[in-house]
Each structure stands twice: as structure tokens, then as C-alpha cells.
Structure 1
């Protein structure tokens, strides 16, 4: 795990600066105590990081669960009651892992996964524009298009025009310049610039700018434009920030329903993130998904026991980790320790970090996820890849993450059905001889009820006085529905003077009386019948 420490340590610093405002913002958007987001980030980094089989995935509180948490806290009668559901959700996730349900993530098309990454990249950029210019009325974790404050993504951007903060904007532009300079120029100049990452320099410059301009009416950065970490006065006040579940309500059916909902949504988000991060991984390593569910379940149990939000693997932090050169799980674990140490030892220093500098860091993360060249690449792959890709993006941007993925998956399935309908058979028409049209119909490798319409239409359109050869040599699966169509056509064929020759590995037959009988009497074949 320590083999790549020179890469993982700088990456963990970047992930820490990305994770810190997200942990706080998601807690705020969820209607939960701010400290609960930090707890989830710490547990997601240290506990899940240690148990997970993912090399570059990073876990923490997820924006996709914010709406569920917000509703559940009120419905269940308080935060401590809600924590019981978080613990139960973790137990159910462990059960999912034991039942080996991690394979579900592999059934999502590549176009949908790429659309998810691109959509999240666009959302990151759009949501950070207000923070970049110092307009911070909206909680950082409010990632849905329609927000809890009645605004939407675009109205927030429009409102920013009338609320630009000069100080926040100046340091954001300076931070963005530093990041681009580091990425494009300095990184190639020496190892020192690889060890000390641009985001760290940007954050340090941001703190210095805040200190130097504090008190200046024009250039100063006001407190609402800074990171806001709870600052305990002493050890007892720090411990008092933890909450504990009220297991007295465990008999309430609503608790169990919420727990199952958390487990289901958190597992789905995690599995999709695993699939996405594995694609982003330069080494193309494969994460064991069942082990990931076990790790996430354990993390949620511990998080719920000490007052934290539900945890999932999250793409924003994971992609920041990959783009910063993270090579192993050490970067995720160390980022968790950074969160823990910082909230104990230096919360006052963290509260000097301008949110606009963090927005600049996230701008680059979002751009790398949603590069314009990717749209061109997907378009060149054809409509079967491009349409699910675009639908997923639009769903994520204009609704939310789960809706976008769901819509992309539905469109992907429709595309598969259309292509399956079109590719059921190949028709070859030969010259007319002996007074009959010679037509050869070659069926596909797998022919199911989905292909009924296409095959039936083709058979019904055959002219009278036709010699039809049906080739099943390459067909490995033939649905009973298709056999029934062929049986019915056999009756019509006699009336229309159509001769049929059936060729398969079971044998050859001219004008069979019954296709079903033909297959039943010749069981020795690689052809599977349903």
C-alpha cells in the first residue's frame, strides 16, 4: 500500500480539499448537523478505504442521498431516530455483499457510465459558478437541478450576476491561474512540482489573501464566502458534536423501510461509481464489487453509530484522486486522516479557506470529466452509443443523478431491443428458376420473442410460388414463439404454393408437417429451445 506514497500523498491533499466543503455542504443540504458530514467523510476515508478492494475509489457522504436524508429526518421524528436507519442500511448492504449482488453494476452500458461521468462533470462546473464569484447562498451539497431553496441550477447562475464579490472572484481567478500553470507548465519542470500539488498552493495563497485583505471594504472576503467547520472550545464540546442512534424506535416499520431505501440507493450509487472509476483508472484495475458492498456496509454501520451521514463511493472525490495521480487506496485513507486531524487541531485555519478557491479546483475536476472531445468521440461511435450517452447527461443535469442513470439505462435497453428486432435474420433473394422465387432466410444466433414481428412480417410478404430455405445452422437459441410462427406459416405456405426447406444441425427436411415436431424428434444439437 505504501509503494506509491510519493503519488498518493499529494493526491490525498487534493482529495481532502475537495472533500471538506462537500462533506459540510451535503450535511447542510440534508438538514443534518454539519459535523455529521465530516464524520461520514472520515469514516469513508479511513474505514471504507481500509476494507475496500478499490485502488482509487474514495467514499464519503453522497449528494444523491441528500433528498432521502432530508425527508427521512422529519418523517422519522429526529436525527437520532434516522441514525438507526443508517445502521440498518449498513447491515442490509453487508447482506447484499454476502448474497453477491455486486454484479449488478456490470449490467449498465458503457455509454450510460460515460454519460454519468460527463453529466457529473457538467453539474460540478454549473454548481461551482456561483461559489467562484462569491455568491454562496445555496448549500454546496444541493446538486439536484431543482433546489431546496426554490431556485434551480440556471437561476442560481443568473442571480450570481447581481451578487459578485470582488475579493472572492479575484482569489478564484488567481487560484485558477495557479492550477492551470501547475498542470500545463510547472509539473513538467521538476519533481518538486509533482510532490507539491497546485491545489495545495492555490489554497495556501487563498488563506494568505484572506489574511492580507481582511478589513479592506472592497477586496476582503466575507465570512459567508469561507469554509465553515465547527470549532469546539474544548474536548467535551468536541465529543458533544457526536450523535448516537435511538434504538428504541427499531420496531417502527418506517425505520426499516428507510434503512432498506438507504441500502438500495447507496449500493447502486457505489456500484455505478466503481464501474466509472475503474474506467478512469489508467491501469484499468477491476474492483471486487461484493467486497465493496461489504466495506460500504461496515462504513455505514460505524457512521450511523457515531452520528454520521450515509456513505457511498463518490465520483467527484474519486475522479479528483485519479486526476491528481493517486495510485492506491492509501490516498483515500490518508485523506480521511487529514479530515480527522484538521477538525480536531486546525478548524480555525480551515475556516480561512475561500470557497471560491475550492470552486476553482472543482472547475478543473469537472472539465476533465466532461471534456468536449468526449462528445465528439461518442458521436463518432454512432447513435446506439450517442443517444443513451446524451440522455444520461440531460437527466443528470436537469433532474438528478439517479434519474439520469435510470433514463439512460431505459434508452439503452430500447436501443438493444430495436437492434435485436432488426438483426433477427438475413434475407438473400436469388434469381427466379423453375417458375419459383428462390429465397434464403438465415436466422441470427439468438432469436427470441422480440424478433417475432420482424420475422412474421418477412414471411407474410413472401410472394406465391416461392422456394424458401430457412437456415438455422448458426442459431443457438430459438424461442418457442418463433417455432409457433414457423408452424403457422407452414400451413399458409401450402395455400400459397410456397415450398420450405429447413436446414439445421438437427438435419434437413423439405416441407415439414410440424416444425415443433421436427425439433422435438432431434434433440442432439447445440440449438437450445425454450
Structure 2
């Protein structure tokens, strides 16, 4: 888009950017919290996702930032790599991988993942997200006991420790969580969505404000329930130049040869790209102007953004449908809305740091509990079950693999089952067989499918073997665009042996082949 046209819709884009900022701020903090990363890393990611990715992206309405879909990967990577600075190196390398994918025009990668596996991946992440918020929603950071109750994906020993949480519960945090969830559920009701001014106040923002107010009331009327600093957002001090420099963390390039760093980088690069491409497609579908975003250019933009994040201490980013849909519904017309929302995020650290530090972690946990539920809602399981086993089994195995093992194993399990179903369908659909009477007597006609590969070899052999002796057989390849050599060999063998069974074979557009021992 020409620079002049980018600034020609500021009357629409500036108000939309404010709405997106109000949605993004609590999500940036909440996703950093769920990822086990410094809270400010979520703000950095939001700023880079808005400004850097927004400027380079070819999308007019998509908004990027830290994504709930990456929380499981980030949490595990930080724990396994042993430090946030080492993790940042993986983020930088993931961005480099995405950038190379964009150059290689790999934007079609999203088309090669079955929908059942993608939905299973998001649902599995949603379940893990819910599990991870249990400590924060119950106030288990009270008394410094929080880390005891944050189990890794398959750390059953720590999950079992949840039975001992009674003595550490914070009723203040529980009340804030319950009230916040009630507000979020209410805000999603259709009758409230129809009220025009309600759209100006996103549910997550209301939850954050209510959490601050309730906690302030606790301080006045019930000090025992008041949430101290350890139960609230803590951002770095930016009162001086030293404080400003302290906002950023830099990657440890000495670990460049660490195999685990590369595994984390490849995982982040692939999953972030997949989530971006899916969100991009979804945003284009709800764009009132029906503009199409170039996927390869988006990978270049996302790759650049993640390289920058890795260099200065931000979480990995993707295009995010929650922010993108809020942007579109608020009336954004160009990418300037996404860019300005990033500027507002950065400004909030300097303009309202005191307010941000008052946000209870329980409020952020409630927001993420709702995000997790939306990813793994009950209706999704029902709809997948109604589609049949070929959709439900890959879906459910992907979820189980993610929850019990890890994300890559879960996706691998789902893909394996999906591929088996594809092979079975391909195996069954090699040809169409019909029998009718012609001048030469009873004729059996076998019409080959559009593409016949070695996978169809067994089915075709079976069909030919079942033809009774003495029949007239027509093998029609006129509809086939691709016929593997293996299939041609089966047909040639059948023709060679047909005379011994008194079968007259006629072929239509079937190339001849040479078979060892036959001429």
C-alpha cells in the first residue's frame, strides 16, 4: 500500500488501534505469565508485533503479538534450556527460519496439515493453558509457593502436589478469579454484544480494572485478602536510563551449537508459521473489503519480528485472530491500526507503570482460562465426533499426545493417524468397475481414477483377479492424469496372462511398458 493511502484512513485506524491496545495489553501480560517468562517480554513482543511486523506485513487488518498457542512451547523451552537468554537465541533462530521460509515461498505449509490435527493442536494447547493457570487463579504465589504448583506437561509428581494446596490458597485471588470469569462470560453474551458502546470496552480490560478495584477494596475492608506485590504484575523500573536498559534481555549466542536450542527454534518456527498462516486466512475471511494477504510476505515479516524479539528480549509472535478480529470489528481499514497499537503498548510502560503494577495475576489468569476454554470448548469435541472417526481420531490423539507428552509428539501422533486414513481412502478409490453386455458377450469395464499410484496396486490386482474367465475386459485410462509404473506393470501382467484364462483385454489410453522377461 502506498504511504499516502496508509495515512488516509487515520479517522478509522486510530480509534481501532485504541481498542486493539486495550485487548492486547492484558493478553501480552497474561501470555508472558503463562509462558513462565518475564512479564515485560510480553509487552516487547506486542510492540514488535505491532510496529515491526505491522510495517512489513502485506495484511491490512491482521495484528501480531505473543500468542496463546505458543505458551506450552515457550514454557518448556525456557525450563529445558536453563535460561531466558538461551531461549531468546532460539527465538532469534526461529525468526531466521521463518524468514528463509518466506524467501523459499513456503507460505503454502498450512495447506498440508489436516484440519483435524490443527484443531487438536489448538485444543491441546487450550487444556494445557487451563492447567497452567490453576496456581495463579487460586493465589498460590502467596507466600512464595507458586513454583511448587506449576507442573510441566507430563510432570505427574507436581500435578499430584496440587492436593496439598489448601494451606496456601488466597481467598482474595479466588474471589477476583470468579468475578473476572463471570464478567468475561457475561461480556460474550449476544445481547451485550448488540449494545454499541459495550464494544468500546473489551472484556479483558474490564476484568483488569475490576481486579484492581476489588483488590483495593480488600486493602481497605479486609486486609487479609489483599494481594501483595508477589501476586500482582511486576514490571521493571523505568525512572532512569539504567532502568530503561534493564527492560531488555539479550540472547546468549555462545549456545549457538546447542542442539536443544535448534530443536526449540525449529519447533517455534514451524508452529508460529502455521498459527500465523491460519490466523491470516481467518482475518482475510472476515475483512469486509475481502482483501487477500500474501502468505510469503507475512512469513518474511513474522521472521523479521521474531529475530528482533530474540535480540531484545521479547516472546515469539504470530498473527493473532483475537486481536485481528477486534481490529476489524473496530473499523480498521489499513495496517496503521496495528502499528499504532504497538506504539500505545510501548507508551503504556512509561505513562501508566503504576497502574500496570496494580493488576492482580488472578485477573490475567481468568483471561487465559477463558482463552484456554475457547480453544478446547466442549462443542468442538462434539462437532469433531459428528464428522466421523477419520476426523475425530486424529483430533483426539493430537490432544492426548500434547497433554501427556509434548506438542511435537502430539502433532506427530495426529498426523500419523490422519495419513493412515488418507492412504486407506486412496487405496479404495483406484478405479470404478462396471459390467454390461456387448457384442462380444459380457464385458467388464474398469475405469481408472484421475491419479493411480503404487498405493492402488493391491486393490487393482484384487479387482482383476476377481474377473471370471472368458470375459471381455476394457481397462480405460482416459480419465487418469497420472498412472504409476507399478500400476502399468500390473496391467501389462494381466494382459500377458489373460489368454490362459480366455480373457480378451482391450486398453484405452494405457501406455505400454517393458517388463523384465517380456518383450
Q: Same fold (TM over 0.5)?
A: yes
The secondary structure found in structure 1 opposite 2:473 is strand
The Cα of 1:469 is off from its aligned counterpart by: 2.0
The secondary structure found in structure 2 opposite 1:254 is coil
Query: 2:117–2:414: 8 Å Cα contact kept in structure 1?
Result: yes
Residues 373 and 113 from structure 1, CA distance in 2 versus in 1: closer, same or farther, beyond 3 angstroms?
Answer: same
- In the other structure, the counterpart of 1:101 is 106
Query: 1:273–1:314: 8 Å Cα contact kept in structure 2?
Result: yes
Equivalent residue for 1:42, pick from 36, 44, 47:
47
Of 263-272 and 64-73, the range deviating more from structure 2: 64-73
The Cα of 1:208 is off from its aligned counterpart by: 1.2
Of 357-366 and 328-337, the range deviating more from structure 2: 328-337
1:495-510 paired onto structure 2 within 5 Å: 495-504=500-509
> Could you report, residue by residue, the CA deviation over 1:387-430 in whole angstroms, capped at 9, with x for unpaired residues?
32323333333333333333322322222111000111122244
With normalisation by structure 1, the TM-score equals: 0.80
- In the other structure, the counterpart of 2:153 is 145
Residues 73 and 157 from structure 1, CA distance in 2 versus in 1: closer, same or farther, beyond 3 angstroms?
Answer: closer
The Cα of 1:432 is off from its aligned counterpart by: 11
The secondary structure found in structure 1 opposite 2:475 is strand
The Cα of 1:200 is off from its aligned counterpart by: 1.6
Structure 1 gaps of 5+ residues are: 507-513, 519-530
- In the other structure, the counterpart of 2:275 is 273
Calculate the aligned-residue CA RMSD, in Å: 3.6
Is 1:51 the counterpart of 2:56? The answer is: yes
Query: 2:110–2:277: 8 Å Cα contact kept in structure 1?
Result: yes
Query: 1:22–1:140: 8 Å Cα contact kept in structure 2?
Result: no
Is 1:516 the counterpart of 2:513? The answer is: yes
Equivalent residue for 2:35, pick from 20, 26, 29:
26
> Could you report, residue by residue, the CA deviation over 1:242-261 in whole angstroms, capped at 9, with x for unpaired residues?
344566x5xx8606x67755
Is 1:399 the counterpart of 2:405? The answer is: yes
In 1, the alpha carbon distance for the partners of 2:148 and 2:513 equals 64
The Cα of 1:262 is off from its aligned counterpart by: 5.4
Consecutive aligned runs of 4 or more in structure 1 exceeding 6 Å deviation: 139-143, 431-434
The Cα of 1:440 is off from its aligned counterpart by: 2.1
Structure (1 or 2) with the greater helix fraction? 2
- In the other structure, the counterpart of 2:444 is 439
Query: 1:124–1:363: 8 Å Cα contact kept in structure 2?
Result: yes
- In the other structure, the counterpart of 1:209 is 214
Is 1:382 the counterpart of 2:388? The answer is: yes
Structure 2 gaps of 5+ residues are: 1-5
- In the other structure, the counterpart of 2:257 is 254
Residues 97 and 109 from structure 1, CA distance in 2 versus in 1: closer, same or farther, beyond 3 angstroms?
Answer: same
Query: 2:29–2:40: 8 Å Cα contact kept in structure 1?
Result: no
Is 1:13 the counterpart of 2:19? The answer is: no
The Cα of 1:333 is off from its aligned counterpart by: 3.7
- In the other structure, the counterpart of 1:526 is none
- In the other structure, the counterpart of 1:418 is 424
1:475-514 paired onto structure 2 within 5 Å: 475-504=480-509
Is 1:120 the counterpart of 2:120? The answer is: no
Residues 356 and 188 from structure 1, CA distance in 2 versus in 1: closer, same or farther, beyond 3 angstroms?
Answer: same
Is 1:409 the counterpart of 2:409? The answer is: no
Query: 2:36–2:78: 8 Å Cα contact kept in structure 1?
Result: no
* Number of residue pairs the alignment of both structures matches: 491
The secondary structure found in structure 1 opposite 2:236 is coil
Query: 2:62–2:319: 8 Å Cα contact kept in structure 1?
Result: no
> Could you report, residue by residue, the CA deviation over 1:454-493 in whole angstroms, capped at 9, with x for unpaired residues?
1112222333333322122211111111011111222222
Query: 2:15–2:330: 8 Å Cα contact kept in structure 1?
Result: no
Query: 1:41–1:336: 8 Å Cα contact kept in structure 2?
Result: yes
- In the other structure, the counterpart of 2:348 is 342
Query: 1:57–1:274: 8 Å Cα contact kept in structure 2?
Result: no
The Cα of 1:6 is off from its aligned counterpart by: 4.0
Is 1:319 the counterpart of 2:328? The answer is: no
In 1, the alpha carbon distance for the partners of 2:49 and 2:394 equals 31
The Cα of 1:173 is off from its aligned counterpart by: 1.8
The Cα of 1:323 is off from its aligned counterpart by: 5.9
In 2, the alpha carbon distance for the partners of 1:410 and 1:139 equals 35
The secondary structure found in structure 2 opposite 1:516 is coil
> Could you report, residue by residue, the CA deviation over 1:254-305 in whole angstroms, capped at 9, with x for unpaired residues?
06x6775555333312221123324543337644222122112222332333
In 2, the alpha carbon distance for the partners of 1:313 and 1:120 equals 15
Equivalent residue for 1:351, pick from 343, 357, 362:
357
In 2, the alpha carbon distance for the partners of 1:300 and 1:358 equals 24
The secondary structure found in structure 2 opposite 1:374 is helix
Of 90-99 and 474-483, the range deviating more from structure 2: 90-99
Query: 1:269–1:313: 8 Å Cα contact kept in structure 2?
Result: no
> Could you report, residue by residue, the CA deviation over 1:353-385 in whole angstroms, capped at 9, with x for unpaired residues?
122222222233333333333333333333333
> Could you report, residue by residue, the CA deviation over 1:160-215 in whole angstroms, capped at 9, with x for unpaired residues?
56643211111222222223333327735643222122322221121111122127
> Could you report, residue by residue, the CA deviation over 1:111-156 in whole angstroms, capped at 9, with x for unpaired residues?
2223333333333334334432323455799796225x9534xx47
In 2, the alpha carbon distance for the partners of 1:242 and 1:201 equals 29
The secondary structure found in structure 2 opposite 1:117 is helix
- In the other structure, the counterpart of 1:524 is none
Residues 220 and 69 from structure 1, CA distance in 2 versus in 1: closer, same or farther, beyond 3 angstroms?
Answer: closer
